Structure 1
């Protein structure tokens, strides 16, 4: 079954957690004991209905304040697809949490309150979704029950968002009017909005085409480790294990090992369940080659006629995740695919105002949750692609050398 990862984003109290609770509840993905626990929590809060947001707001602070703080991952499946949901916070001080939750998503669910329309948070989350190259955006116009299920209000918000999205690089935007509280157009079609002839939200999630989202052109195989069993059955076996980051590999393909530049041919591709005739992202496999070449962790197997850039000076869009900002010319550990190098922040080019999309060039003091364009210099070359071409080989993280904490996530331009 195909797996769809999606993230929810929106302003505070737009109903993200309630929507996910409704999706799980109406698709029969909640166990009876979970339902009972949420029912009791709702009664304690003095509510006369079951608060579906409590399915995802698991932290004590979240329940008390009625807000989402951390990224909550939820898993469910229908007969057509498996899903991983990242419920991300709406508050501006949790931008880093949203970036973390959205970094692996195929689709972004952006919630709007029908009473408020497009607000600052909507613009911010839409910008971050496009920055992270999420291919599909579904705009859920929630709380339609509070606007008497008005078609005119729905059309106004669609027009407003479409005008804003024209400034962004969004490939696929869809709109659906819903009421997460009452379940209208979430899993079941609403009889109160007969004017809406489109799909329900769940049907959209089940049928949206994600097969072309992965890069199947540029063959990239970062090597994680070398497998040498040293047993009688596999006495001479030497396999290079890792996860395919792009393209399609097949036995018999001519390949190049970087950075050494030696070429060879794929002898076999093995998995835990046995040999396969092709490997593509995100499969984890072990490759054997016809020639004995010195290959180790951090090397990359690619096609001879399609190679990544070999770069030491990187232009990166950086989201700062740590309370303490970066030191100019500060040194960090940079992780990229299976490679690890030391790096230095050479220059901050500008910061981005994520609400207006304007560049801030006169203030280069980076604080937590801020997004900026910086120039890095690494101690040895990286084998990288631009992030908008390949999300795996175009992303990096920075780690503080002294504390070993992840301080930033970046997208190579």
Structure 2
């Protein structure tokens, strides 16, 4: 059983789910799976994935897990009460080989947003682990440990990196649950204060680590259908987030419509209201320079704001980014695949993205075009026009 706890997911799934419960309880959502790695044939593993989904949908939150969630300062008691009744429903997710006979599989999640939002992370973890346990039945853990030790040694014992903070964001693309936990424990011991925490709520609870996360693209995308006007959907998403969390969890996601559109909406009010922003596509150095300049232009001191880098990070890249920005803003690094799936095998580039909300197409206009995922080209073109992307 790959997923044995409903806490084995990213914290931002719960923070977004709480917003859905309180503000959008009737919203309907649709998600689609995509494997971006060429030459990967997942069709032989459909039956294994189906079996793991059955196991996932049998899980309920345990009392100890609910107590842990109730103890988080930003989680409200009525939300925990709801989770006490919650169970994933198998009828909301389907898995099948693609009818295009191209080696791909189709995973579709469709139903009430409140009841489908928790599928994404464990389903991606399931697909990953099923793939790798068939690809490498006897994993080269020795190589993985050697690589991990080298990464830790790159950070520790260097006075110029003393304030560097790294977080584990690797649940969705990990090699396996067992390896993920070993990596996290090794990192906690080796990195010491450099390890800020983990996005994985289960491992945070088990090992006394800080759970980390705020919002993801699906929340920003859903607001395209739930807000009053499409052009205002980004500002609406930030406003609703602030209404729910009253200044807590204040890291804004900056690339749903491209960074230019983010800066247009992220005015002095949001600059002061939010603690910082997260980078997830495009050139990270350019992003950092422009965000710092934007704060300064809005009479906000950048040294009091947090820049979170989370796009395809490696340890050398994190060091380089830290050295560039360390005296100019607060910094945090969320590293995923390179931390939890680096044993010498090619990682899978797999995603599950929201494509519709309340029957309306929704999309992300990333600064990395290959990350854009939408099943309605006309809507995508309209979205680009509204947010002045590519003009």
Which structure is higher in helix share? 2
Report the structure number with the largest CA radius of gyration.
Answer: 1
Structure 1 and Structure 2 fold alike (TM over 0.5): no
Output the TM-score relative to the length of structure 2: 0.28
More strand per residue: 1 or 2? 1
Bigger RCO (CA 8 Å, 6+ sep): 2
Q: With structure 1 as the length reference, what TM-score do the two structures score?
A: 0.27
